[in-house]
Chains A and B, each alone.
Chain A
Amino acid sequence: MIRTSFIIFIFLIIGCTDHVKKLPILGNYDINTNYENGVEKIDTVFHYIKEFAFVNQDSLVVTNQTFDDKIYITDFFFTSCPSICPIMKGQMLRVYETFQEEGSVVFLSHTIDPEYDTVALLRDYAERLGVESNKWHFVTGDKQAIYKIAQLSYMSVVADEPSAPGGYIHSGRFILVDKKRHIRGVYDGTDQEDVNILIADIKILLEEYAIK
């Protein structure tokens, strides 16, 4: 009897412990060591998304400020893509529909074929998907700028490859970015299970802001 109550007691303690799951901050980080008045101060600078400016399907300029106080999920695609893009977009649409009512969750899809994917084409694509332009931005811009932000900020592979279907290789990654421009998760946008994890992680991240 005493043993049983002891076990129950232990379980209660474990159950009550506040272990809110927190997502990691991904990417390389720098540790800056400064001396202030002879006291050592260590400051960790996490990897963050650099400045960008692109144009969305409404011809509006989209920058980092567009995502101030928002968490966003981003990917790279092109409308004429015959390989993994339709799967990715189907999966992204599922995430979009899950968080349709959640104002602080937005989406950002970059075309990696800006010569073909004009604003008008992106607009048509978004309308065909049936999504709101202030919730899901489809952006185009300078090709080098898009490639650069993909590789350096979002850690995603995109490249021209004439032998690949559609002429490009790109990872089917979805990247989850928090309100401070930190990457909090990277997912395979072609894998339903992995996208389920993304949906769960978005909820965890929202929770993190809710309890602050």
Chain B
Amino acid sequence: MQLNKKILLLFLLTCYSFSSCQKRGEQIKLSQYMVEGTTVYQNHCANCHTNDGTGLANVIPPLKNSDYLMTLSDHDLACQIKTGLSDSIYVNGILFYQQMPASESLTYLEIAEVVTYVNNTWGRKDGLYGVRQAEKDLSECN
């Protein structure tokens, strides 16, 4: 009985250290994604949506405080980045019809990074949007 307790304690400790390690690993990965995502954003998105995500008046829609973006799924966001957007959309009650160009040259990883960047920067959601998820989502774009 005594031995069992010890084993249990050891087991719990191991579990704890593993999970905290995993958590730290996730944190590091998230930081990496954010750094890379910033670069991808600046090179491929910021020309129009601007560095601070405010867009351009009623010409280019904002990413910051955008009701449209908040309701968009990660899957759809990833797909729109890759294949562009030619439909008109309403953002905060304003109709935008300017076509968003496709970025077919972006890799799965780059899209995962930039989605992570957009999610965490403009309050869509916290955390990582991983490359595996991106690959799966991007294989199912319309």
- A86 within 8 Å of B (CB atoms): yes
Within 8 A of B (CB), among A62-93: 79-80, 82-84, 86-87, 89-90, 93
Bound CA span A165–B103, Å = 11
Contacts beyond the supplied A82-B47, A86-B56, A89-B59: 14 A-B pairs with Cβ under 8 Å: A79-B98, A80-B98, A82-B101, A84-B47, A86-B47, A86-B50, A86-B60, A87-B47, A87-B50, A90-B56, A128-B57, A129-B56, A129-B57, A130-B58
A130 touches B48 (CB 8 A): no
Interface centre among A86, A87, A93 (most CB of B within 10 A): A86
9 intermolecular pairs with C-beta atoms under 8 Å apart:
A83-B47, A86-B60, A87-B50, A93-B56, A127-B58, A128-B58, A129-B56, A129-B59, A130-B58
A187 touches B (CB below 8 Å): no
Check A165–B58 contact: CB distance below 8 A.
Answer: no
Interface check B14, CB cutoff 8 A: no
| Contact partners of B98 in chain A: CB under 8 A | 79-80
Q: Nearest residue in A to B96 (C-beta to C-beta)?
A: A128
Cβ of B139 to closest chain A Cβ, rounded Å: 26
A80-B98, A80-B99 known; A129 vs B50 contact (CB < 8 Å): no
Whether A125 is near chain B, meaning CB under 8 Å from some CB there, is yes
Chain B hits for A128, CB < 8 A: 57-59
SS class, residues of chain B in contact with chain A:
loop
Nearest B residue (CB) for A125: B59
Task: Find out whether the CB atom of B50 lies under 8 angstroms from the CB atom of A165.
Answer: no
**Chain A residues at the B interface, C-beta cutoff of 8 Å:** 79-80, 82-84, 86-87, 89-90, 93, 125, 127-130, 165
Q: Is the CB of A86 within 8 A of B59?
A: yes
Which listed residue (B58, B99, B101) contacts A129, Cβ 8 A? Answer: B58
Q: Is the CB of B48 within 8 A of A86?
A: yes
Chain B residues, CB < 8 A from A130: 57-58
Query: Which residue of chain A is the closest to B58 with respect to CB atoms?
Result: A128
How many Å lie between the Cα of A66 and that of B107 in the bound state? 50
Most B-side CB within 10 Å, residue of A87, A128, A130, A165: A128
Given the complex, which residues of A lie within 8 Å of B56, measured CB to CB? 86, 89-90, 93, 129
Find chain B residues with CB under 8 A from A90 CB. Answer: 50, 56
Tell me the smallest distance from the CB of B81 to a CB of chain A, in Å: 14
User: Could you say which residues of chain A place their CB within 8 Å of the CB of B58?
Assistant: 127-130
Q: Which of B58, B59, B60 has the most CB of A within 10 A?
A: B59
Q: Mark B84-128, 1 if CB is under 8 A from A, else 0.
A: 000000000000001101000000000000000000000000000
B57 surroundings in chain A (CB, below 8 A): 93, 128-130
CA distance A14 to B16 in the complex (A): 74
Contacts of A84 on B, CB cut-off 8 Å?
47
In the complex formed, the residue of A with least CB distance to B84 is A82
Are B59 and A82 touching (Cβ within 8 A)? no
In the complex, A49→B81 CA distance in Å?
Answer: 42
Q: How far is the CB of A193 from chain B (nearest CB, A)?
A: 14
Residue of B nearest to A129 (CB): B57
Residue pair B59, A165 in contact (C-beta under 8 Å): no
- Which residues from A are CB-within-8-Å of B99? 80
Per the bound structure, the CA–CA distance linking A82 and B48 in Å amounts to 7
Q: For the complex, what is the distance from the CA of A79 to the CA of B59, rounded to whole Å?
A: 9
